[in-house]
Structure 1
Amino acid sequence: MTYIVDKDNVDVRLDRFLRKNCINNSMSEIYSSIRKGYVKINSKKKKENYRLKLEDEIYISNLDFKLVKNKEISNNIDKNLIFYEDSDLLIIDKPKGIAIHKGTDNDKGLAEILNVDFANRLDKKTSGLVIAAKNKKTLREITKLIRENKIIKKYKVKCISNNKYKVGDSFVIENKLEETDKKVIVSNKGKISKTKYNVLDIKDNIITLEAILYTGRKHQIRVQLANVGLSIIGDDKYGNYKKEDELELECYYLEFNGKVFEKK
């Protein structure tokens, strides 16, 4: 059979494209077919690491090829969740208490409810802006930006004040964080984690901080602040709070590809 490459599969490696769409074939069968010329691009043999180009003609024989269709976004999506939308992208304003993906404590997450692929994630108790892609090409592009730390993410955080800071102060926490079975800990065995914190407000012994991420480790803000005596209000994992308490942590700002998304 013949397949013409569309925009969703541009820059995908040939072997990965076949692995996704030839689910009844082993990788050894796929590699063998590529080497023996049962798979050709524009009538020519290519190596398995060839990256597909728009409108490449892929000839496939000797493999059970069935094109896996892209997800169709649910028509029942709550419009209040959509912060921004265009032909390729969705910025979702995630409420507190809803997980991004299904897991042990929930049968469905936002990804399953909306039928979209998220490029990044927020913890179940964290609210705010999160990026979803409408197609695989956009998903790959956003994932690459995240991997290269080219997406600016800012959070608003509320903690009980430790009386060390005043409004207008700024400080940077840079340490190493390690994932263990139960939680993330500060450890020399971990990965470098860096965040800048700006003091926005102090009222009734509650300090409001802006957190600007330089790295994106799991639970980074939560662990760093708890480690300096500023555990986030409602954090039952790294602070003295109950599981049902609301976590005062929100991603309010995203910036990438020349676009700014900000909750006022």
Structure 2
Amino acid sequence: MKMQNDVVPPSSQALAASFVTITEEEAGQRIDNYLLRVCKGVPKSHIYRILRSGEVRVNKGRIDQLYRLEAGDLVRIPPIRIAEKTHTAPVPGAEFRIVHEDSHLLVIDKPAGVAVHGGSGVSYGVIEQLRAARPDAKFLELVHRLDRETSGLLLLAKKRSALTNLHEQMRDGHTDKRYLAAVAGDWTNKRQHVKLPLHKFSTPDGERRVVVQAGGMESHTIFNLLRKWQNFALLEAELKTGRTHQIRVHLASSGFPILGDEKYGDFALNKQLQKADASRGALRRMFLHAYKITFTHPETGKPMTLQAPLPAECDRFLLSLGQAMN
């Protein structure tokens, strides 16, 4: 993003209009999404108001919120006064275990208990920490999300072209995401399709929840039985759609809650597992791990399959169960 006439960036408290020239990396995104990103701290309602009023111009002409930016576009951003935040703690930079990195992609193995981004009571997440650790990175965006309690493979794009390409692959069903989940119950089928419509809502305190409900979003998960014990099973979950909490709700609604799931699981069993001795099957996290993903590299066009091994605490729990049943 190139600034003209030494004006102050739009995220400041300046009272002068700023003019920015869109680069190749910024091209392709909608003007509303662009403004929401660069005008940090400005309410969404204000962004859409200045778009509707025509105060935002592209190449001196009026545009609507659906306009997609092109390289070389000159964008006028009107004066925006932003209330100064007080006592804002800086985001601590952090790196995570890297599974793959090149000029277009960064793939990490996210630990359980870490949010992918700030919000909903969380000050910051993986994306903010990575940006803080890599101040020279020109572009770094999440390709998809993982629940805070879920560990495993998380894709980030280092170029806008890579982000757009990977989003298209996911939308068209050309990516293959696999998870490992340990569940309670007597699972019998080697391979089972679960197609249950999911409805997302928020509780009065703002927590996201999902229920199986007629008229909800079409959702499809395939479960493959990997190992089985008397009271537990290890499953591979193959996502055919990517709804919020899909695997967790599909399993819980089928009578096989994921071990350690504090939202949809067996709460009494979870407490037992938390209190157990390490050698007798202690589990103090949700047993859901994004272990494998296959996609086409956005630059080379070559297929890629990446894997992340089970975290140590999950491995120890499986070992504590002893010999699996046939």
TM-score (norm 2): 0.63
State the distance in 2 between where 1:61 and 1:110 align: 32
Residue 195 of structure 2 corresponds to: 174
Task: Say if 2:288 is the partner of 1:249.
Answer: yes
2:105 alignment partner in structure 1: 89
Counterpart residue type for residue 159 of structure 2: N
d(CA) in 1 for partners of 2:245 and 2:100? Answer: 26
Secondary structure of 1:180's aligned partner? strand
In the alignment, the residues of structure 1 paired with residue 122 and residue 35 of structure 2 have an alpha-carbon distance, to the nearest angstrom, of 33
Give distance in 1, aligned partners of 2:32 and 2:231: 58
1:88 positional shift = 1.7
The one-letter amino acid of 1:38's match is K
User: 38, 55, 60: which one pairs with 1:38?
Assistant: 60
Equivalent residues of 1:30, 1:63 under 8 A apart: no
Query: Aligned-pair distance for 1:211?
Result: 0.5
2:143 counterpart residue number? 119
* Conserved? CA contact 1:193–1:214, under 8 Å: yes
Instruction: Give the drift of 1:117.
Output: 2.3
Whether 2:241 is the aligned partner of 1:215: answer yes
Change in Cα spacing, 1:226 to 1:62, as seen in structure 2 (3 Å) is: closer
Q: Counterparts of 2:290 and 2:75 in 1: how far apart (Å)?
A: 45
How far does residue 137 in structure 1 lie from its aligned partner after superposition?
A: 3.1
CA RMSD between the two structures: 3.3
Matches of residues 22-101 of structure 1 in structure 2 within 5 Å? 26-28=50-52, 30=54, 33-34=57-58, 38-39=60-61, 51-54=68-71, 56=72, 58-59=73-74, 77-78=94-95, 80-101=96-117
What does the per-residue CA deviation read over 1:176-199, in whole Å, with 9 as the maximum and x for residues that have no partner?
A: 011122421111121110011110
Residue matched to 2:307: 262
C-alpha change, 1:20 and 1:101, in structure 2 (3 Å) is closer
Alignment partner, residue 197 of structure 1:
223
| Secondary structure of residue in 1 paired with 2:247 | helix
Would you say the 8 A contact 2:187–2:233 is kept in 1? no
Contact 2:180 2:288 in 1 (8 A): yes
Does the 8 Å contact 1:157/1:248 carry over to 2?
yes
1:181-228 per-residue CA deviation (whole Å, 9 max, x = no partner) reads 242111112111001111011135321111000001111111111111
Alignment CA distance shift 1:13-1:186 (3 Å): closer
2:252 is matched with which residue: 226, 234, 249?
226
- Contact 2:54–2:63 (CA<8 Å) still a contact in 1? no
Q: Please state how far the C-alpha of 1:52 moved relative to its aligned partner.
A: 4.8
TM, length-normalised to structure 1: 0.76
Return the letter of the residue paired with 1:149.
G
Cα 1:9–1:128 change in 2 (3 A) is: same
Q: Give yes or no for contact 1:162–1:229 (8 Å, CA) kept in 2.
A: no
Judged with a 3 Å threshold, the aligned counterparts in structure 2 of structure 1 residues 246 and 146 are, in CA distance, closer, same or farther, namely same
Distance 1:187 1:6, change over 3 A: same
Shift of 1:119: 1.7
Of residues 161, 170, 173 in structure 2, which corresponds to 1:137? 161
Q: Can you list the C-alpha shifts for 1:59-96, whole angstroms capped at 9, x where unaligned? A: 5679669xxxxxxxx99543x52111111211110111
Seen in structure 2, the aligned counterparts of structure 1 residues 190 and 10 have a Cα distance that, compared at 3 Å, is same
The equivalent of 1:109 in structure 2 is: 125
Aligned pair count reads 242
Deviation at 1:143, TM superposition (A): 2.6
2:92 and 2:113 map into 1 onto residues whose CA distance is: 23
Q: Does 2:179 match 1:155?
A: yes
Q: Which runs of 5+ in 1 are unaligned?
A: 40-45, 66-73
CA distance in 2, matches of 1:128, 1:220: 16
